[in-house]
Amino acid sequence: MLGNVAVGTFMATLDGSIANVGLPTISNSLHVPLHLVQWVVSAYLLTICAALPLVGSLADRWGRGRLYNIGFLVFSGGSMLCALSPSLGLLVGSRIVQATGASLLMANSQALVATTFPVNKRGRAFGVMGAMVSLGSLAGPGVGGLLIGFFGWSSIFWVNVPIGIVGFILGLLLLPKGRGEGHDAPFDYSGSLFFIVGIVGLLYTVSNAETWGWSSWSTILGFALGALFLVAFGFRERAAKNPMIDFSLYKNRMFSSASIAALLSFVSLFCTNTMMPFYLEDVLHATPQATGLSMMAYPIAMAVVAPFSGWLSDKIGPYILTTSGLTLNALGFVLLNLLSSHVPVWLVGVHLAIFGIGQGMFQSPNNASIMGTAPRNKVGSVGGLNALVRNIGMVLGISLSVSLFSVRLHEITGQAFRGVPTNLSPNLFMMGLHTVFWAAAGVCIVGAIASSLRSRTPSSAARAAS
């Protein structure tokens, strides 16, 4: 079962990194500007954020194994439609279908692990899942570059089809087929509508606020409407007999502190994912190949550390590992601020490996502790919420890094900037970059504090193992 779930996790992660690599080629092939092609990524991410809580709630009713296996089919079908798309509109629509399948995989993978493995082996299983996330990120750029070079951009979507078929066949044989414990509970349709409109409106505004201007009427109106629908969603959930999101979960200190720490972890890490390619290629003048190799240091280190960290958390509990991991990431950002515009590319890779170690220490125990708080009839919902937090952190991290960079450049030069310009002097670029990294270090420290608020005593997994 773990192998089947790992295949789905690897496939969803692989596709995300492959799609990013293919944007310039898709732009040239379909004859559309790059800023419009970004919707290939944005539509995918927004759909996942909107769908994850819904999918998690449905899984608790209809069966996690069933929906997970359906996810293989939907994801593979969406991938095939992406590969066959002759226009940007059809490609974006196909990516929405693909993202729906990805949400079925993401929301249910953690739930299946949590309900299949005994509590004293759960951390080790989540460690394997963390390694799959890293390997997917690692393989994406390299595999994507090779596929595009030899077979064109459509091949980055075709590659998902055979993986999905194999995963579906294995799922028929290995995954549980029963219905969920809450299959008689009615579904909260109005709450779902409020959530979809609210979260999509809010994240869409966050993604575009730098282009529109943070003080523009478009941004203000987008935030206001998103917040209004999310507030309406909150009131609806409090009144619903079977809410899509059970807010009482946040009364559990382990769940709330781990969720906040996870959010802040991904906010900070996506500051590096966004800014480091510009630093490597525009400041250090590294080739794309060298840039890819340098940035691969992070997922390699995480893939090595995550399984061991998960195993260790089964013995000693999550507190030390999660808090130390985020503290190490904060130190990593401090060290990045010591880099100059005249350092070898390999040294940047060494620095990025620190984040892989820190995130490997943090992610597996943190996921295990979150899923360990979930009642069995809500484990799908909790898995969906955990994946939602991760994706929201990615969006916020990208927006935070670009906005801080632009604001700092405006303070220095008096000029208005949108996005990350590529014609800056190295010294000016480094000043903006250091602002981003100092802020990210602060986010990590706050995340470590949030993580430290969880119980210091060994988890039930640790006690069961001893």
DSSP state, residue 159: T
pLDDT tens-digit map of 122-134 = 666 766 776 676 6
Amino acid 264: pLDDT: 93
DSSP state, residue 175: S
Q: How many folded domains does the chain comprise?
A: 3
Tokens 């507030």 appear where?
231
- This prediction has a pTM of 0.77
Best CA proximity match to 93, nearest among 58, 142, 43: 43
- Asked if residue 441 belongs to a domain, the reply is yes
Do 213 and 114 have their domain in common? no
CA distance 163 to 147: 15
Do 349 and 431 have their domain in common? yes
Conformational region of residue 63, where left means phi above 0, alpha means psi within -120 to 50, and beta covers everything else: left
Average pLDDT over residues 62-74: 82
Average pLDDT over residues 299-323: 85
CA distance 261 to 299: 20
Torsion (CA) 414, 418, 423, 429 in degrees, nearest 10: 70
pLDDT tens-digit map of 404-447 = 888 888 888 877 666 566 677 888 888 888 999 999 999 999 99
Here the tokens at position 109 are: 């993978």
Which of 210, 243, 276 represents a domain boundary (last residue)? 243
Average pLDDT over residues 341-350: 89
- Asked if residue 267 belongs to a domain, the reply is yes
Do 208 and 261 have their domain in common? no
Which of 243, 267, 286 represents a domain boundary (last residue)? 243
Give the domain range for residue 65. Answer: 1-176
Best CA proximity match to 241, nearest among 198, 193, 191, 195: 191
pLDDT tens-digit map of 110-126 = 667 766 777 666 666 76
Do 295 and 371 have their domain in common? yes
CA distance 343 to 335: 13
